[in-house]
Amino acid sequence: MSELLLSARALRKAYPSGDRRIEVLRGVDLDMADGESISIRGESGSGKSTLLHLLAGLDRPDSGHLAWEGSADTGASRRARFVGMVFQAFYLIPELDARQNVLMARRMLGPLDGAARERADQLLAKVGLAERSHHLPSQLSGGERQRVAVARALMNSPRVLLADEPTGNLDERTGDAVIELLLGLCADTRTGLILVTHNAGYAARASRRFLLHLGVLQG
């Protein structure tokens, strides 16, 4: 039986704009089981990134309830283990090589040990960068940088992977490879995947598909 990883109920979020507030999310409900992949599409400015930030515990809703594996604890220490995030802009540290960037995720949990370094090497091998582990981001292509970002997101063995337009800065061929990588790695490890994308073809590959429209998820 599948385990419920994440449950959101009636999430609402608004932001000030001059003398009024813009309602971005107007009551989002979402459940996700382990190993499940979910895609979310929507127009620019529809609140997709806002929703991911709430689901990741990076921001708080104005109202509503979020639970990870039945617990309302979404604090920083638990977030480092429960959630991995992949962004459109990669967000790699330019002064660190690929291996060191991957290990940065593990540093949030305490001092590094041999097991952590071995896992970083294994993840870089899985994403096809075993021979590029000591290259700086500036020495890597866009697709390679995004693969480093995927390895970093998986470093702490998260239960849920959140990907916010992970192919937005990539050409079509490279984007296809990154989506294939995300779906394959999550299926292998039973990690839940929530993919925000404008690409209808990528969205269709998820096991469940949603449209975020007028602040509500439509399935």
pLDDT in tens, 171-210: 999 999 999 999 998 889 899 999 999 999 999 999 999 9
**Residue 122 maps to a domain:** yes
- Asked, for residue 57, whether it belongs to a domain, the answer is yes
129 in a structural domain? yes
The total number of structural domains in the chain stands at 1
CATH code, domain carrying 44: 3.40.50.300
- Assess if residue 103 is contained within a domain: yes
Asked if the model's pLDDT at residue 95 lies above 90, the reply is yes
The residue segments making up the domain with residue 90 are 4-211
- Measured CA to CA, the distance from residue 162 to residue 66 in angstroms comes to 15
pLDDT tens across 33-58, in order? 998 999 999 998 899 999 999 999 99
Give the Cβ contact number of residue 173 at 10 Å.
8
State the pLDDT at residue 45: 86
Please give the structure tokens belonging to residue 65.
């309830």
Give just the sign of the alpha carbon dihedral 92, 72, 156, 168: negative
Collapsed DSSP state (helix, strand, coil) of residue 89: coil
Which residues, in sequence order, are CB contacts of 79 under 8 Å at separation 6+? 56, 57, 58
Could you tell me if 47 and 55 are in contact, meaning their C-beta atoms sit under 8 angstroms apart? no
Helices and strands counted in the chain (H then E)? 7, 9
C-alpha dihedral (72, 73, 75, 80), degrees to nearest 10: -110
pLDDT average, residue stretch 103-132: 94
Answer yes or no: is 169 within a domain.
Answer: yes
Indicate whether this model's pTM tops 0.95: no
pLDDT value at 136 more than 90: yes
What's the pLDDT band for 1 if we cut at 50, 70, 90? low
Q: Is residue 187 part of a domain?
A: yes
Of all residues in the chain, what percent carry a pLDDT higher than 90?
85
What confidence score (pLDDT) does residue 18 get? 86
CB 172 within 8 A of CB 92: no
With respect to residue 190, please indicate whether it lies within any of the assigned structural domains.
Answer: yes
Asked whether the predicted pLDDT for residue 23 surpasses 90, the reply is yes
Percentage of the residues of the chain whose pLDDT score is greater than 70: 100
Mean model confidence pLDDT for the chain:
94
Residue 218 lies in a domain: no
Distances (CA, A) of 153 to 88, 122, 160: 13, 14, 10
